[in-house]
Amino acid sequence: MLSGLHVRNFALIDEADITFESGLNIITGETGAGKSIILGAIMTALGERSGKGIIKEGAESALCELTFTDIGEEARKLCEQEQIDLSDDTVVVSRKIMTNGRSVTRINGETLSAGTARLVAGALIDIYGQDEHRSLADSRSQLAILDRFCGPTAAQLLGEISEQLSLKKKYEAELEALPTDEAVRAREVDRLEFEISEIEEAAVKEGEEEELKAQFKVLASARTIKENLYGAGEALRGESGASDGSATALKFLSHMSDLSDDLKDLYDRAADIDSMIGDLYSDIERVAESIDDDEERLAEVDKRLDLISHIKSRYGRDVSEIEAYLAEDRRALEKIMECDAEIDRLKKQIGECARGAELAAGKLSKLRHEQGAKLTAQIVTALEDLGFNRICFDIELKDAGTVRESGSDEIEFMISLNPGAAPAPLAKVASGGELSRIMLAIKSVMAHAEEIDSLVFDEIDTGISGRTAQKVAEKLAVISSGTQVICITHLSQIAAMADEHILIEKSVKGDSTVVTITSLDEQGIYSELTRMLSGTLVTHTVEEGAKELKQLADSRKKELRVAIP
């Protein structure tokens, strides 16, 4: 149950602590006194979106902190799943909101997301806001109520439906991405086969282009090179060439080489030159003979270079890129060639997912029909307790004809408030006050079914008075015998049923507005009930009436709770 609320710098509150007890906790106060601030603080702590406007003027941050004790089994399981320490059987949910709009949520000191806090809090407390009865007109809300009543089996089946539909959507997207058009696929196969063939036939090798370019340069200049080499050879060995001159010089020097060292040196040098000329001529002849001036080979090299240039322009700047392009084409072709099998596989999986979703939806629909009858009976009983006499209420389920995330059912809460009148959709029949009581009846049934630790009602008394208000008060007393109830009310009949009565007052001190929160003692309860009965005109008769109202309420509450099986 919610045992405490700590608030600091929130709205008009500097700092306040409220202690809640088991049973029925009533919050009252003048209109505009700030009762809604309490509910706002609770909802803010639980992750409701809030702006920096909730921070008290002049403060840098606001803090809302809830303390839950006597933790129920469902909440305990969720805490264990989220690895929240429950060693002292207490859950403390706190949220700090900064002026920059950021907030920090903690559970038992551990920083967690607001979503996790809401998930855990959902098993600890159920809050009914002022306008929540309007949600009863929404089919999604009605279906959610029935599914919650159905328990964990419904949640499991909804999970299965969601999983199967999610997979079905995934497979459909994959199928959509495949080229299922035969003509398109044929064109793509032709393109890929052509490219693969062209690359494979070209068989470009690493370094081949550089080698061919060098060959082309030589082949293209071969004739000119050979002519020049032959000319150089002729200059060396031809008539009056260097070789003849060298031989003549050597002959003349040979006659004098033994006359002096200088002449001997000249002869030796001339002999070296003659030998070098002979060697040079031999090398020129060898190189000239090695040069290929084959025009056919030149054409082959030129053609091969053109092919390599074409392949590079289409498929990659170098051999590694060309090979990568070829590998990708082969994979794409293989995928298309296997496309028929892939299409069949995906269609099969889509069908299996659809059947899986339909199977789970069928089981869920059967469960909804079975539990819907039980929920209907319990709601009717609760409505009769709230003063609806000879009421007709029914949960109408129809096949939607398709499976959605919520299953295959369409739902409508049907009701007839007057004998002889045909049941009609709830939203078209019930007034605001009637919707509030119907929501209270549903909440009372759901609190018992779900074992919710705490229920919070913000002005459940909207649009009611007199005997109807008394019926609502008695229902709250019954609910609070097994579930903690926190209720904000304007009605004295409801306030008189309180096990714990909290008064909210607003006053002006200097230039500031101050909200005061007081847990009332017996005399305080009498005074507040007197105010609620008479307003500003207080008489002894009214005071005695307030005491009598409280005493009668306590007596009636005891009778009601004793009678609970």
pLDDT in tens, 73-103: 777 888 888 888 887 888 899 999 998 888 8
Evaluate if residue 224 carries a pLDDT over 80: no
Looking at residue 240, what is its pLDDT?
Answer: 61
Give the model's confidence band at 292: pLDDT under 50 very low, under 70 low, under 90 confident, else very high: low
Q: Which amino acid is at 317?
A: R
Question: Does the CA dihedral 462-468-473-477 come out positive or negative?
Answer: negative
Clarify whether residues 187 and 331 are in a common domain: yes
Looking at residue 131, what is its pLDDT?
Answer: 62
Clarify whether residues 476 and 563 are in a common domain: yes
Check which CATH number belongs to the domain holding 45 and give it.
Answer: 3.40.50.300
Residue 125 vs residues 71, 481, 504: alpha-carbon distances, Å: 11, 16, 22
Clarify whether residues 460 and 534 are in a common domain: yes
Q: Which amino acid is at 113?
A: S
Residue 535 vs residues 486, 503, 527: alpha-carbon distances, Å: 24, 15, 11
Evaluate if residue 329 carries a pLDDT over 70: yes
- Residue 433 domain flag: no
- Residue 149 domain flag: no
Looking at residue 330, what is its pLDDT?
Answer: 93
Evaluate if residue 451 carries a pLDDT over 90: no
- Residue 355 domain flag: no
Among candidate residues 482, 478, 494, 558, the one with its CA nearest the CA of residue 529? 494
Among the ranges given (318-327, 421-430, 555-564), the one the predictor scored with the smallest mean pLDDT? 421-430
Clarify whether residues 216 and 284 are in a common domain: yes
- Residue 392 domain flag: no
- Residue 291 domain flag: yes
Looking at residue 244, what is its pLDDT?
Answer: 64
The range of the structural domain enclosing residue 237 comes to 183-337
Final residue in a domain of this structure, among 315, 337, 359: 337
Looking at residue 238, what is its pLDDT?
Answer: 63
Indicate the number of domains in the chain. Answer: 2
**How confident is the model over 392-409, as pLDDT tens digits?**
999 999 999 999 999 999
Clarify whether residues 85 and 16 are in a common domain: yes
Q: What is the mean pLDDT of residues 406-431?
A: 87
CA angle 464, 469, 471 (to 5 degrees): 130
Higher pLDDT, 471 or 255: 471
**How confident is the model over 146-167, as pLDDT tens digits?**
999 998 899 999 999 999 999 9
pTM of the model: 0.67
Looking at residue 552, what is its pLDDT?
Answer: 95
Give the model's confidence band at 328: pLDDT under 50 very low, under 70 low, under 90 confident, else very high: very high
Burial 34-46 (b: 16+ CB within 10 A, else e): bbbbbbbbbbbbb
Among the ranges given (102-116, 341-355, 398-412, 428-442), the one the predictor scored with the smallest mean pLDDT? 428-442
Final residue in a domain of this structure, among 309, 337, 365: 337
Tokens 């080979």 correspond to what residue? 297
Clarify whether residues 203 and 285 are in a common domain: yes
Q: What is the mean pLDDT of residues 443-463?
A: 82
Give the model's confidence band at 118: pLDDT under 50 very low, under 70 low, under 90 confident, else very high: confident
Q: Residue 79, SS3? A: helix
Looking at residue 117, what is its pLDDT?
Answer: 80
Clarify whether residues 197 and 320 are in a common domain: yes
Mean pLDDT over all residues of the chain? 86
Give the model's confidence band at 485: pLDDT under 50 very low, under 70 low, under 90 confident, else very high: very high
- Residue 143 domain flag: no
Element (H, E) at 37: helix 35-45
Looking at residue 181, what is its pLDDT?
Answer: 75
**How confident is the model over 46-71, as pLDDT tens digits?**
888 776 678 888 888 999 999 999 88
**How confident is the model over 226-242, as pLDDT tens digits?**
777 777 777 776 666 66
* Two structure tokens written together for 114: 């607001």
Looking at residue 52, what is its pLDDT?
Answer: 67
Clarify whether residues 212 and 310 are in a common domain: yes
- Residue 563 domain flag: yes
Higher pLDDT, 294 or 110: 110
Looking at residue 89, what is its pLDDT?
Answer: 83
Give the model's confidence band at 427: pLDDT under 50 very low, under 70 low, under 90 confident, else very high: confident
Residue 88 CB contacts under 8 Å (≥ 6 apart), including other chains:
none
Evaluate if residue 107 carries a pLDDT over 80: yes
Clarify whether residues 112 and 196 are in a common domain: no
Final residue in a domain of this structure, among 337, 364, 398: 337
Clarify whether residues 188 and 112 are in a common domain: no
Higher pLDDT, 128 or 366: 366
| Helix 295-315 / helix 319-337 crossing angle, nearest 10 deg | 60
Alpha-carbon distance of 274 to 420, in angstroms, equals 141
CA-based R_g, the chain, Å: 49
Looking at residue 51, what is its pLDDT?
Answer: 66
- Residue 346 domain flag: no
Give the model's confidence band at 325: pLDDT under 50 very low, under 70 low, under 90 confident, else very high: very high
